[in-house]
Every structure is written in structure tokens, then in C-alpha cells.
């Protein structure tokens, strides 16, 4: 299922869903949320790599979502973080109809998408990053995250984003965080 809106703040806030072809007898399925890269200003859930992953993970038994978010040209940081958090909340709000176990949602991404995946896992205590999108009665936390080549902080103080350590996963690392894998 393609281009499902998860927030009406922008036409960019859509996701694609792939489900396993078989259904567990009354059981709930794990889910994976894919987040594309592109420097927070390019890329697409429709890129062939993410389209293939969407289908491959569904064939392995996962309900899989591939998420678009607003680019920096449309909405400044931290809108991209807030968008993906809203997509996670949307998934939890629709977990029953999708037969998803809300306690077994993981996310993964590459580059900027890896940054966003890690932020989903580590920043659930930061209410400012939730944004004002819908589904606020649901948590945006995830059970685990995988980041491929993820920026974990911006070290160049001349980049405006570097002046906000709350936007970078490295500042949230502490005991009790969900499992993370950085590649």
C-alpha cells in the first residue's frame, strides 16, 4: 500500500506499507520502519534499495513501513525527527488493524535515515522532539534501531545544526536505552 498519509502537515508525510502474505493465527507481528537517507534534503522511500528492503522484510514476516519526511528545504530541523516520530505513533495507532506488536517495532536507515532511526531509539524522553502532529496518545519509542553510516553528531560549530546537541543521538546514550547497531 503506497502513499498513506500519517500527518496532514505536509504532502511529504506519507509512508508505504508491505505486509507478509501469510497471517499468524491471532498473533501479532513485528514491524520494521525504513528511513531513507539523503542529507535531510533529498532521497525517497521509492529509491530502489528501500523499495527492495520493504518487500524483502515483508517476505521474512515483518510488517514493513518506508517513511517519507519533510526535507530541510520545506521545514527546518528538527521537523524531520518530528515527522518520523509521528510515523511511529501512526503505526502504533494502527497496530491492531495491521496486526503489529507495538512492543516489537524497530527502525533502520542509512546516512541521514540512520541518524533518524537512532533518534527514534534514544530520544523518547525529549518531548520537544515529538512535534505537534497527531497520534500523541501513543509513544514514538521503538524497541531497537540500526543505523548505516549514521551521523551521530555534527562536530563543525559553523553548521547551524551543530548548535543543537538535542538533535544528535550521541547526547542521549545512557544505560537502559534500546539496543542499537551502527554499521
SS (H, E, C) 113-163: HHHHHHHHHHCCCCHHHHCCCCCCCCCCCCCEEEEECCCCCCCCCCCHHHH
Q: How confident is the model at residue 26 (pLDDT cuts 50, 70, 90)?
A: low
pLDDT of residue 24: 63
Tens digit of each residue's pLDDT (9 = 90 or more) over 92-137: 999 999 999 999 999 999 999 999 999 999 999 999 999 999 999 9
pLDDT of residue 98: 96
Q: How confident is the model at residue 22 (pLDDT cuts 50, 70, 90)?
A: confident
pLDDT of 41 strictly over 70 = yes
Tens digit of each residue's pLDDT (9 = 90 or more) over 67-85: 999 999 999 999 999 999 9
**CA-CA distance, 178 to 183, in Å (whole number)?**
16
pLDDT of residue 154: 80
pLDDT of 23 strictly over 90 = no
14 forms bridges with which residues in the sheet?
A: 5
What is each CA distance from 110 to 36, 85, 117, in whole angstroms?
Answer: 6, 17, 9
8 Å CB contact between 131 and 83:
yes
Amino acid at each position: 500500500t503506497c502513499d498513506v498519509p500519517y500527518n496532514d502537515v505536509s504532502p511529504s508525510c506519507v509512508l508505504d506499507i508491505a505486509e507478509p502474505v501469510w497471517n499468524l493465527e491471532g498473533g501479532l507481528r513485528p514491524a520494521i520502519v525504513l528511513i531513507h537517507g539523503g542529507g535531510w534534503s533529498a532521497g525517497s522511500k521509492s529509491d530502489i534499495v528501500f523499495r527492495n528492503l520493504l518487500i524483502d522484510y515483508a517476505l521474512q514476516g515483518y510488517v514493513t513501513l518506508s517513511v517519507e519526511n519533510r526535507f530541510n528545504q520545506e521545514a527546518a530541523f528538527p521537523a524531520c525527527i518530528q515527522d518520523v516520530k509521528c510515523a511511529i505513533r501512526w503505526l502504533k495507532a494502527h497496530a491492531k488493524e495491521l496486526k503489529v506488536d507495538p512492543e516489537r517495532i524497530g527502525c533502520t536507515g542509512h546516512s541521514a535515515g540512520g541518524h533518524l532511526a537512532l533518534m527514534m531509539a534514544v530520544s523518547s524522553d525529549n518531548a520537544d522532539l515529538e512535534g505537534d502532529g497527531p497520534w500523541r496518545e501513543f509513544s514514538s519509542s521503538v524497541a531497537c534501531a540500526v543505523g548505516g553510516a549514521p551521523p551521530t553528531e555534527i562536530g563543525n560549530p559553523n553548521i547551524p545544526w551543530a548548535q543543537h546537541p538535542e538533535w544528535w543521538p550521541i547526547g542521549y546514550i545512557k544505560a537502559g536505552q534500546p539496543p542499537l547497531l551502527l554499521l
